[in-house]
Structure 1
């Protein structure tokens, strides 16, 4: 009998691939054989971004299948991407499994599918393979998705997922209130895209009922109400490379590690770390206000500026900005985020509030300034600001712009009030204890591993 062999299939977006890779590295350390399935398009990006010291390829077999789009098509059009995935990937996944299983002693014993790739559960069921679902976003997001039929029955949304009216609701008396305009599917793109994502959610809900396990990259302490509402979702997180003293992998862009030595030169708790994940895009006006806001703080800052963060990056920085901030400002294309957030010189995290970034900030006791862009990020902001009280939101002006003075004022407010840091450190302690031996997430994870073995 060979090692248990897990096949992992994340939704093809950066915020899904990274936590899946964390989970697979944990399993590889437990002696599992791992096959990690990216789309052809993302597989190339992950391979290109791996550095020489990455040993992912030794522990995890990286393979790929087509996503159904032409190489030139825009993968940020999530509705079109999701429809193409449904059309093409199930058959391609089955072919890959059959080919893998034909090799001696290589048969796949369990498939772990992203909650947004529920069709893979159906492929596993048809092939008689054990199946689990991994939820890389917050449990509250999946609680909302799994409540779709109830939301329709209660007249909160129509059959297309469109909110009947803009209102605040609670899924349960202890869940944080959420605005109906900020359901995960209702704040992505135009109405057509929203319907495509909603339809995907409904289909995935059906398939997920056939999963043997549903595990979440969260912890009971962070979201007790969501786990009480859906006790079949089991928290095993947060999964951070720092928990296993390992290295994060699965990036779509090469990391600029030189920023770590730059951080070494900065005073303790002085640096504003600014990063907006893989999707956020700014127009020129907003990008310039952000730059000028960081300049106005007169504090050191490390700013992750993706090559595609603005439509017209070439000359998007305000005139003379580079020269004026050259001593205390550092801009990089992509950063080793967990290492940055655990660095003693970092004072706060100006973030889009993606769930991975949220967990990495919480797991390192860093207070937040919240600037959500789309999807689940608004709900994550309400956790950060209203439930855990470890951050502040940024307000837009009449034009819909977050101004330089708003940025400067909120930085001052956050860093002058020492209770934000104190609460962040307290939350970190609770969360880190969860993944240690004896913690609830650790026990759930151990039981999950035993089941797969």
Structure 2
């Protein structure tokens, strides 16, 4: 009998590709064949970021077949402009939408994968109610300026921080809002919605939508050898530098694949790290700050010397091997004793004390799984909601506050870092949340059991 075959279709952004690739590896482990569809631009990035062996880069990765489709944009178009990306993909989306209906008629089954928090999903599904209650108009723009909360235990969110209204230039908002509406309609074609989260992290959100199946935090594999669709080649040279640092001494700074700072904000960030006087590892993508003076950055590097390290991309993703295989009590005991070797992942490294982050959901889960406190610096979409989880619900970090000019000053960054690093309550709470994540993915845990249920569902024959 032929193995079931799944076609995996992620939204064309790094934060969507990685968790769906992680889930794809889990499906392959359970005897399911997977064809993974990236846009042509992202397909090329994924292949270029894979370490090449003697035979070159394969289009078949550990049983996952990699294929590509056009994204509707021209060469040279800015694919970090989310509105433009959504608009360019619209033709492909229409074709996919039609194919879903055809697939339904042919008896081909569909499941929906949500790569963000359950709270983010709840927010999008409640758009009709938000329109009816007068929070937003029918185009998605806020009509009132206030903070709301859908249910106890869910993150409070201000109407100025709605994810579809904070995704780049305002002119791109209509396309993004319509994409959200289409996603809400498409969910009715799916037999099940699976979500990269776990019940103990978001009990209020899962209570609102009990049919959503949490299967996270997702892991590609326990040895961290399987590619997960990174768009940039990782610089592993920082790991030797980390090995030479003291326990819980390093401030890790990374803002994901989309965030872009203007030169002034970049300089304030750098000066804040210098002012804090602590060792730091800072990920600065080549496109992170367009227009920044190279001479200024070189001078900064000289001043911080060996205390700070700047890399273009690093192996943040994934966690220590024991997180996936030990019970929560063992996780805590082994981490404190420090007896397990490093797996080559930055957030799992014993030297990391704090994560200055944009609060993308993948980064939020990675920090959580490694019991790393957060200093939150959200940039767009759902990151403000994730920040609210971290600061207001889980209380595992603090947030920076921009000044009247919209710039986070160096004194603000330095001061908040000291507060996070000196707060024993934050560290205790983030350790407890890490333990809950361990329980969810361990044998008999809720997410572990849900993955098995999902696999069984995919293997059912009509």
Unaligned runs of 5+ in 2: 318-344
In the alignment, the residues of structure 1 paired with residue 312 and residue 214 of structure 2 have an alpha-carbon distance, to the nearest angstrom, of 32
Note the C-alpha offset of 1:190. Answer: 3.3
In the alignment, the residues of structure 2 paired with residue 316 and residue 391 of structure 1 have an alpha-carbon distance, to the nearest angstrom, of 34
Which is further off, 382-391 or 166-175? 166-175
Q: State the TM-score, normalized to the length of structure 2.
A: 0.89
In the alignment, the residues of structure 1 paired with residue 99 and residue 280 of structure 2 have an alpha-carbon distance, to the nearest angstrom, of 42
Q: The residue matched to 1:36 in structure 2 has which SS?
A: strand
After superposition, what is the alpha-carbon deviation per residue over 1:276-330, rounded to whole angstroms, capped at 9, x for unaligned? 0011111111100111111112211110000100111452745621111121111
Q: State the TM-score, normalized to the length of structure 1.
A: 0.90
In the alignment, the residues of structure 2 paired with residue 316 and residue 169 of structure 1 have an alpha-carbon distance, to the nearest angstrom, of 46
After superposition, what is the alpha-carbon deviation per residue over 1:412-447, rounded to whole angstroms, capped at 9, x for unaligned? 111112221121111100111101111111111110
Provide the residue aligned with 1:326 in structure 2: 305
Q: Could you tell me whether the CA contact under 8 Å between 2:153 and 2:202 is conserved in 1?
A: no
Q: Could you tell me whether the CA contact under 8 Å between 2:376 and 2:397 is conserved in 1?
A: yes
Provide the residue aligned with 1:380 in structure 2: 386
In the alignment, the residues of structure 1 paired with residue 388 and residue 6 of structure 2 have an alpha-carbon distance, to the nearest angstrom, of 35
2:84 corresponds, among 56, 73, 80, to: 80
In the alignment, the residues of structure 1 paired with residue 274 and residue 194 of structure 2 have an alpha-carbon distance, to the nearest angstrom, of 42
- Tell me, yes or no, if structure 1 residue 402 matches structure 2 residue 408: yes
Q: The residue matched to 1:278 in structure 2 has which SS?
A: coil
Note the C-alpha offset of 1:174. Answer: 4.1
After superposition, what is the alpha-carbon deviation per residue over 1:183-241, rounded to whole angstroms, capped at 9, x for unaligned? 11011223331121111111121111110010000001111111111112110001134
Distance 1:267 1:242, change over 3 A: farther
Provide the residue aligned with 2:431 in structure 1: 425
In the alignment, the residues of structure 2 paired with residue 166 and residue 71 of structure 1 have an alpha-carbon distance, to the nearest angstrom, of 40
In the alignment, the residues of structure 1 paired with residue 61 and residue 224 of structure 2 have an alpha-carbon distance, to the nearest angstrom, of 18
The CA RMSD measured in Å over matched residues stands at 1.8
Unaligned runs of 5+ in 1: 94-117
Distance 1:299 1:416, change over 3 A: same
Note the C-alpha offset of 1:176. Answer: 2.4
Aligned residues: 428
Provide the residue aligned with 1:25 in structure 2: 25
Note the C-alpha offset of 1:244. Answer: 6.6
Distance 1:63 1:362, change over 3 A: same
2:257 corresponds, among 278, 286, 307, to: 278
Provide the residue aligned with 1:70 in structure 2: 74
In the alignment, the residues of structure 1 paired with residue 94 and residue 252 of structure 2 have an alpha-carbon distance, to the nearest angstrom, of 40
In the alignment, the residues of structure 2 paired with residue 137 and residue 373 of structure 1 have an alpha-carbon distance, to the nearest angstrom, of 15
Provide the residue aligned with 2:123 in structure 1: 144
